[in-house]
Amino acid sequence: MSAHRSLEGQVAVVTGAARGVGELLARKLSARGARIALVGLEPEVLKEVSERLRTDSDHWHADVTDHEAMARVAREVEQRFGRVDIVVANAGVASGGPFADSDPAAWRRVIEVNLVGGAVTARAFLPALTQSCGYFLQIASLAAITPAPMMSAYCASKSGVEAFAYCLRAEVGYKGVKVGVGYLSWTDTDMVRGADQDEVMRELRGRLPWPANRTYPLGPAVDRIVAGIERRSPHVYAQWWLRGMQGMRGYLPGIIATVGQREMKRFEPRLAGVSKGLVGAGGAADEQGRSERH
């Protein structure tokens, strides 16, 4: 296990920093002395977050899927703080429901924000991280470890970012850049609360086996992410039991296929009413941001 590094004076970039994991992560990194660059789609909210931090901080309004915008942000962050030591690709959205009935635009947007957005963020900040021998943490999910019915876009995107991060690690490790993958189960955020507003999705999740059937508090999850950042860990687990899931990966698709078919048959009469759009406040902010740009 890697030794903890002091975060005092280090510069950390957090995407999706307006709320949830990103917002609390920014606060906890700041409490440990890191200077913080917040990136997201809601400048007013980001400004409020920035003003509450105890260390030097600033915020940037940008869509993580926009190459030019993120390249500009990377330049400006480096000009503002002089360096970049840590980048956390946290921005993410989710949608649920049966794939056959899903909204194609919402389904594609989940892939764009979660997978393409993580890659665009890495591309923008890699030059600075190479200079500082820094750390890139890609936030993935339990959804990268196990498939799940009604979550095809989210699972595909999180499996994708996990694979991307593994590839990137192999490419840039010799330059001194560390790459980590962060895994979270259902954690008490706007995204999860938004998904739970749909009765079918909430019931389906409740039928998952323990410990995947419960929602975990945000604070301890983010504390574990901060500890992973301090160690520059290759794998960061926001809930203790996720580490054990890695050894079961080979069995999960077959189990989920069997159990999932049974559950989908049970819920079929009610599937037509499942929400098809992006969930939670972050999803709403993403949709509003896109409508304003167009």
Q: Which residues contact 8 (CB under 8 A, 6 or more apart)?
A: 32, 33, 34
User: What does DSSP say about strands 11-15 and 178-183: parallel, antiparallel, or unpaired?
Assistant: unpaired
- pTM attached to this predicted model: 0.94
- Looking at residue 114, the DSSP 8-state letter turns out to be I
Alpha carbons 17 and 27: distance in angstroms, whole number: 10
Residue 273: per-residue pLDDT: 81
Evaluate whether 98 touches 150 at the Cβ level (below 8 Å).
yes
Burial of 58 (0-12, 13-18, 19+ CB in 10 A): middle
User: pLDDT band at residue 293, thresholds of 50, 70 and 90?
Assistant: low
Please write the tens of the pLDDT for every residue from 185-233: 989 887 777 777 777 777 777 777 778 878 899 999 999 999 999 999 9
- Looking at residue 115, the DSSP 8-state letter turns out to be I
pLDDT of 1 over the 80 cut: no
Q: Which residues contact 174 (CB under 8 A, 6 or more apart)?
A: none
Residue 56: per-residue pLDDT: 98
Residue 10: per-residue pLDDT: 98
Evaluate whether 31 touches 56 at the Cβ level (below 8 Å).
no
Neighbours of 48 (CB within 10 A): 13
Q: Which of 154, 183, 216, 237 is catalytic?
A: 154
Please write the tens of the pLDDT for every residue from 30-75: 999 999 999 999 999 999 999 999 999 999 999 999 999 999 999 9
Please provide the average confidence, as pLDDT, over all residues in the chain.
93
User: pLDDT band at residue 294, thresholds of 50, 70 and 90?
Assistant: low
The radius of gyration of the chain from alpha carbons, rounded to an integer in Å, stands at 18
Residue 199: per-residue pLDDT: 79
Q: What does the buried/exposed string (b/e) look like for 248-283 if buried means 16 or more CB atoms within 10 Å of the residue's CB? A: eeeeeeeebeeebeebeeebeeeeeebbbbbbbbbb
User: pLDDT band at residue 270, thresholds of 50, 70 and 90?
Assistant: confident
Active-site residue 174, yes or no?
no
Return the closest-CA partner of residue 284 out of 155, 185, 194: 194
Is the backbone of residue 271 left (phi > 0), alpha (psi -120 to 50) or beta? alpha
Residue 88: per-residue pLDDT: 98
pLDDT of 289 over the 90 cut: no
